[in-house]
Amino acid sequence: MGKMSSFSFCIVAFLLTFNIADAAFAAMSVDLGSQYLKIGLVQPGIPMEIVLNKESQRKTATLIAFHNGERLFGELALQMSYKFPDRVFPYITDLVGKQFENPVVQNYIQRYPYLNVTRDPERGTVVLNTKNDGSYNVETLLGMILWNAREQVVAYGKIPVRDIVITVPSYFNQAERQAVITAAKIAGLNVLQLISDSAGAAVNFVFSRRKDITEKAQNVVIYDIGASKTVATVLELKLAKNDATKAQDPVVAVKGVGYDRTLGGSVLTNRVQDLLIELFNKQHKTSVDVRTNLRAMAKLLKEAERVKHVLSANTETYGQIESLFEDKDFRAKVHRDAINTILGEYEARFMKPLADALRMAEINVENVDQVIFFGAGTRIPKLQDALREFFKGKEPNRFLNTDESACLGALYQAAFHSKGFKVKPIVVQELVLFPVQIGFDTSANDETDPAALRRVDRTLFSYKSAYPTNRKIMTFTSHTDDFTVNLHYGKIDQLTESQLLEFGDLNITDVELDGVSAAISKNVDEGHVFKGVKAFFLIDYYGIVRVDGAEAIIEQPVEKKNSTLGSIVESIGSFFGSGKDDAETKEGLKDEAGSAPRPESTGPADSEEAENKAKDTPTNETEKKSEEPTEPEKPAADTAAKNTTANETESAKNTTTTAKKAEPKKPKILKSKLKIKAYNNFPELEKSNIEEYQKVLSTFEKNERAKAEREAAHNELEARVYDIQDRLTNEQFTEYASSTEVEKLSGLVSAAATWLEDDVDASTKTEDFKEKKSDIDTIVGAVEKRQKNFEERPTLVERLNDSLTKLDEMINKMKDEHKDILPEDAFVKPVEVVKETRVFITEKVQIERVKNTDDDDINGQIRRKGEKVDRVAGDLALKFTRKLKDIEKAAKAAAAEAAKAAAAAANATANATATESEPKAETDAEPKTESEPKVDTEPTPEAEAKTESDQTADEQTTEEPKADKPTDEEKAHEEF
């Protein structure tokens, strides 16, 4: 028994492990728009799909509201914004990663003056304050929105999810991207990638039309007018060889980007709102300006959004709001011409991102193969005409569902990065819009002061290069103590003055490298040489510059050979530049070798970098990827022999060859890992802060679930009271209850109704509702069970009678038609079961028994009697079938014996006949000579018949009996 329990436990454990692992493989995506977000889900065995929210909508408003200690999201927050706009925070993504003084933040405050937006005294960032529910930074509010997105996925897919890919604007800088990652951490999500909106849409384009992607590059322009931004992106789509798999994989490469952070559909909505206000003021005279009333302004904003959408498809419509302000209704006709007039003021701004993107990509309109309009703003007829004119009549592609394409493209990438899916790779190469430089101190080469240093800037990641990148290796040889380097943006002359102000601080972070002096003091002794410090930098899938480690390089001495040959070899090796003057440890920047080809830098070289290039930076050198911290470092390959001139003597060539063959042992390289501390210019949240805000979210979640449980208990009790009050007036219910039960139930329901009306308030506990409902359910449950038993009893009795009839018929048939097969005692038990069951039905099962009293488990007894009858019938059928098979087997054996005897008799007769036909004596015949040839005779027909008969007889006696097909009785038994 113990072994069995252990085995069962192992099976259960395996199934649980399988389910958990299956759940862990699910992944999600969020197209994080400033006004609406779309959510995607991919899980094993189910295609990629857009998640429907609680309202069965395919998009959810990017809003969060606070009301009476509860958070509201999506549609509920949107409805709240029409009644209490000061409790709802819209367009949170516009504030991500920005200091309070940023012009975008100030525009936000001016646009929503009724929101309480303040400056964080410690970080200098934005804080949004609620009336009674606390104050929150932008990362926490965005984390709450992402948390709600995950809750929607869990509710929709019935599966837990942690992995996510999020879309962000391509122009997001380091601070903004890091803020999104922090928000996802607060929400408990693991970000696999931040992908730009346009790249996500292009990935969706590629996997939905993969056959159209060839080795010939296609230039695609995606033009996106969102709620608060306008972005134009030029992408190159083609097939390229994957060096790792040798296969041709699609490549989505961003080539140019143009954008306007503050121009979007909301600008037009606000202008339409101003138009409606103007029309209302012409119709009505009010005591105060309608702009002073928050609810009236919220209603006007909602109506302006509706009017804008209607006029995209119609030439005119009515703006109308009942009781807009001071009990005055508003209704006015609005023409599309008014929208066109407003758009005329912004047309140049809408076209500028397109021109900027084409300029960055270094192509013109004629080189564009595909045009895709993205975002609701591109559906406005006036803008469509302007875009058609810009692209010289080229029609946009309309097969792509642009509302969901970015979300689906991001979801494809989530499946690619996740461990639970195997998808064909689509290589995404995003564009570095803002070059990143490193600033550090290096030797000033001052003979009078050897310790003098000077500040130098090097470009780590150049303008228009691609990411994610391989590691960049920066070598520092001027520091023997701990030191600090600075990462900052390089020249971004392509930005306008306003874009620079919106961009924020150009400084990124200070990186402190600790442990240099400790490594030197620990490892450098007599003969050991400190060669410098190597630091590794890359841009990851988030688009964030990351320091990927640092190490001190120390050269270990090699024992010198005192032989003459060794001296000659050392001299020759020194002559050709190998050994000590190792280019790997010179100060400067290198690329680490990778499997994928790296795009060449197209950014301008820094003037100071160019000036010191020969001295400090050996460029275009590659460090071997197989380098490990614990293994000795191999110096660069000696290539001096290849540079030997044509007029070298044969002796010199022979000497060089000898030097290569007898190359001395190279010095080993020791590597000591260093500690890295990054001090970001934009103050990020510390780990302790993130954990604190995660607790805040957990507290909200706990309280909201408790509140939801209380409301559910309240609603269930209220519904139960109304239901029972109605059923107490219905005889179909009361006829199954006793008078005592009816009286008690009436009292409980009446008391509960009075309590709900008079005593229930916000302090009433969930348990109080559940307790009162439980008292009612106890009585109702007994009555309902009694009613159910009574109503199903006739069906049970009918089934029992059918089983009895079949068993009775089986007994009679076996006795009448097959009386010789089974003995009489085989029918004793079945006959007894039939008799006692009929007595049970006649005496104990009373269909018309009293309805309002409890039965003694009559239904259970009927079921058990039926099971017994079926079991006896099955046993009887099995006995009959076995006996029948024995009889048939004996008959077959007898037939086989008879056939064998007949064959033997036939053989004997044939032999006797053959004997009579032979000559009487062999001596009477003439003797045959040895030279007479032998003659082969054909067998006679009689002999062939004899042979076949013998074979048949043998086969009949040796062949195993074949399995018989199941008889009707066996089939009947199987049914039993």
Q: CB within 8 A of 642, min separation 6: which ones?
A: none
Q: When comparing pLDDT for 266 and 648, which is higher?
A: 266
3-state secondary structure of 620: coil
pLDDT band at 561 (very low <50, low <70, confident <90, very high): low
The confidence score (pLDDT) of residue 973 equals 45
Polymer length of the chain: 976
The backbone torsions φ and ψ at residue 636, rounded to the nearest 5 degrees and listed phi first, read -65, 150
In angstroms, the CA 827 to CA 90 distance is 84
Residue 200, CA atoms < 13 Å, CB-side half-sphere: 34
Each residue's pLDDT tens digit, 405-443: 999 999 999 999 988 888 899 999 999 999 999 999 887
∠237-241-246 over CA atoms, to 5°? 145
In angstroms, the CA 24 to CA 668 distance is 45
Crossing angle, helix 336-361 and helix 265-283, to 10 degrees?
160
Q: What percent of the chain has pLDDT over 90?
A: 51
Mean pLDDT of 186-209: 95
Crossing angle, helix 766-817 and helix 858-916, to 10 degrees?
40
Among the listed ranges 305-309, 400-404, 435-439, 484-488, which one has the minimum average pLDDT value? 400-404
Domains, the chain, in order of start with CATH, read 31-267+346-428 (3.30.420.40), 434-556 (2.60.34.10), 686-895 (no CATH)
Q: What pTM was estimated for this model as a whole?
A: 0.73
- Helix or strand (DSSP H, E) at 231: strand 230-241
∠902-906-910 over CA atoms, to 5°? 170
Q: Look at the alpha carbons of 892, 898, 899, 900 in this order and tell me if their dihedral is positive or negative.
A: positive
Q: What percent of the chain has pLDDT over 70?
A: 78
3-state secondary structure of 483: strand
CB 197 within 8 A of CB 224: yes
The three-state DSSP-derived secondary structure of 686-741 is: CHHHHHHHHHHHHHHHHHHHHHHHHHHHHHHHHHHHHHHHHHCCCHHHHCCCCHHH
pLDDT band at 166 (very low <50, low <70, confident <90, very high): very high
CB 516 within 8 A of CB 531: no
Is 947's pLDDT higher than 60?
Answer: no
CB 371 within 8 A of CB 389: no
Structure tokens at 144: 């709450």
The average confidence (pLDDT) of the chain is 81
Each residue's pLDDT tens digit, 438-468: 999 887 777 777 677 788 899 999 999 999 9
CA 144 distance to own-chain centroid = 19
Each residue's pLDDT tens digit, 504-558: 999 999 999 999 988 888 877 766 788 889 999 999 999 999 999 999 998 877 6
